[in-house]
């Protein structure tokens, strides 16, 4: 590019709108991109976001001076999550919400603006892409650009990882998405594990999705998440309010047949969290759920023929009772039963060093088909 690029702090409502506009320009000709809902992105920066109780951030946009006025051609957010700093014991900052046209100079200017802001806040290291926390959107896709992302999974142009490496960023950790065709049964060990779990006193049921029962199940899920995933890398526990807010946003999207719960003596001890791939209808909505967007969503949701498995969970003490294999068996059975539209599932994302989960997924027949990466750099 020969045009002058200005990096501007987002400080006005007009700046905020340009910030939200950037992806539309970056992915204008990309058939695999699924526009995120603008309202979902915007609310991350609203004062009501619980993140501001334990963190702070700064938004930046890159502006190109063009004949019809300045045009946003890139964006980035620098963030400090004090919960993460406390947990890791080092001054590590984050960058996220990164989008940029295919121009290395613009990308470097954005990354340096974020890094400089983090330096001024006393940070000595930066990690990303992470949109405020790993409970939100994170990771760059580095392999597997030939198909659209599934629901709540990241997607980006292939030049993003090239830009990161050229700028001296190094791999912090990779993660994988597994492809799982549903046209053949699981190996017999999974049904056997289910029967062993039942004989051991474990009971199974679908997630309840209505009224007070849904709230009760979500509170149990929250406590189970915090116990089972307490040691997840670069992650900190959410508050109950944060967890319940996200759960309520997904309530109407859940298919209980692919969300089995495991209980022992009335206590939730494991689950298999599957969701229909709502990116299929969202692709047609254009990022706005106005009345037309809602009509398009309802029309195209009938085309959903695949799903994503977000998590497979069991408390460690119940693994010998075969709970992980049992919930996989029930979740896959639920997706394969007569009348269900699912042809395939994606199990994602799984960190490269999560050997126990990877062995389980690969034993069930899953194959890696996408690779993602989080980067780090010293400040």
Do the Cβ atoms of 127 and 376 come closer than 8 Å? Answer: yes
Q: 287: which DSSP letter?
A: T
Q: How confident is the model over 197-212, as pLDDT tens digits? A: 999 999 999 999 999 9
- Looking at residue 108, its pLDDT comes to 96
Residue 1 predicted with pLDDT over 60: no
If you average pLDDT over every residue of the chain, what do you get?
Answer: 94
DSSP letter, residue 337? S
In this predicted structure, what is the pLDDT of residue 232? Answer: 84
- Determine the average pLDDT of the residues in 239-250: 89
- Walk me through the domains of the chain, giving residue ranges and CATH numbers: 5-174 (3.40.630.30), 184-342 (3.40.630.30)
For the chain, percent of residues with pLDDT exceeding 90:
84
Where are the alpha helices (H) located in the chain, listed in sequence order? 13-26, 38-42, 82-88, 104-120, 159-166, 188-199, 211-228, 240-250, 279-282, 291-300, 323-336, 355-363
- Residue 371 Ramachandran class (φ > 0 left, ψ -120 to 50 alpha, else beta): beta
Rg, Å, the chain Cα set:
21
Specify the pLDDT at position 3: 66
Reply yes or no on whether the pLDDT at 276 is more than 90. Answer: yes
pLDDT digits (tens, 9 = 90+) for 67-117: 777 889 999 999 999 999 999 999 999 999 999 999 999 999 999 999 999
Dump the DSSP string for 227-276.
HHTTT-TT--PPPHHHHHHHHHHHGGG--GGG-EEEEETTEEEEEEEEEE
Taking residues 181-201, what's their average pLDDT?
Answer: 93
Query: Would you say residue 2 has pLDDT above 70?
Result: no
Residue range 300-314: average pLDDT?
94
Token couple for 107: 């990308």
Contacts of 24 (CB under 8 A, 6+ apart): 35, 287
pLDDT at 229: 84
Burial class for 256, CB neighbours closer than 10 Å (0-12, 13-18, 19+): middle
């Amino acid at each position: 590019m020969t045009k002058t690029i200005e990096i501007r702090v987002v400080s006005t409502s007009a700046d905020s709108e340009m910030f939200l506009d950037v992806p539309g320009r970056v992915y204008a000709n990309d058939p695999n991109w699924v526009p995120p809902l603008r309202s979902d992105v915007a609310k991350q920066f609203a004062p009501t976001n619980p993140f501001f109780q334990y963190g702070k951030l700064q938004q930046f946009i890159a502006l190109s001076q063009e004949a019809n006025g300045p045009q946003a051609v890139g964006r980035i957010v620098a963030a400090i999550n004090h919960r993460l700093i406390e947990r890791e014991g080092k001054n590590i900052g984050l960058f996220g919400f990164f989008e940029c046209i295919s121009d290395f100079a613009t990308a470097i200017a954005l990354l340096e603006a974020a890094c400089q802001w983090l330096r001024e806040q006393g940070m000595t290291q930066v990690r990303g892409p992470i949109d405020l926390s790993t409970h939100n959107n994170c990771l760059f896709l580095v392999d597997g650009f030939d198909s659209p992302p599934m629901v709540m999974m990241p997607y980006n142009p292939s030049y993003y990882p090239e830009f990161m490496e050229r700028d001296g960023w190094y791999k912090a950790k990779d993660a994988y998405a597994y492809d799982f065709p549903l046209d053949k049964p699981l190996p017999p060990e999974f049904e056997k594990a289910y029967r062993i779990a039942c004989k051991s006193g474990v009971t199974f049921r679908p997630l309840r999705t209505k009224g007070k029962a849904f709230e009760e199940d979500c509170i149990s899920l929250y406590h189970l998440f915090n116990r089972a995933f307490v040691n997840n890398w670069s992650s900190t526990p959410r508050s109950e309010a944060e967890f319940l807010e996200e759960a309520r946003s997904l309530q109407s999207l859940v298919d209980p047949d692919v969300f089995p719960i495991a209980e022992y003596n009335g206590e939730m001890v494991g689950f298999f969290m599957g969701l229909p791939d709502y990116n299929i209808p969202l692709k047609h909505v254009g990022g706005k759920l106005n009345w037309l967007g809602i009509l398009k969503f309802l029309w195209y949701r009938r085309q959903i023929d695949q799903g994503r498995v977000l998590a497979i969970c069991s408390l460690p003490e119940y693994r010998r009772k075969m709970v992980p294999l049992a919930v996989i068996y029930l979740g896959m059975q639920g997706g394969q039963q007569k009348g269900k539209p699912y042809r395939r599932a994606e199990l994602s994302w799984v960190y490269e060093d999560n050997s126990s989960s990877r062995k389980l997924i690969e034993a069930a027949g899953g194959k890696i088909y996408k690779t993602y990466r989080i980067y780090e750099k010293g400040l």
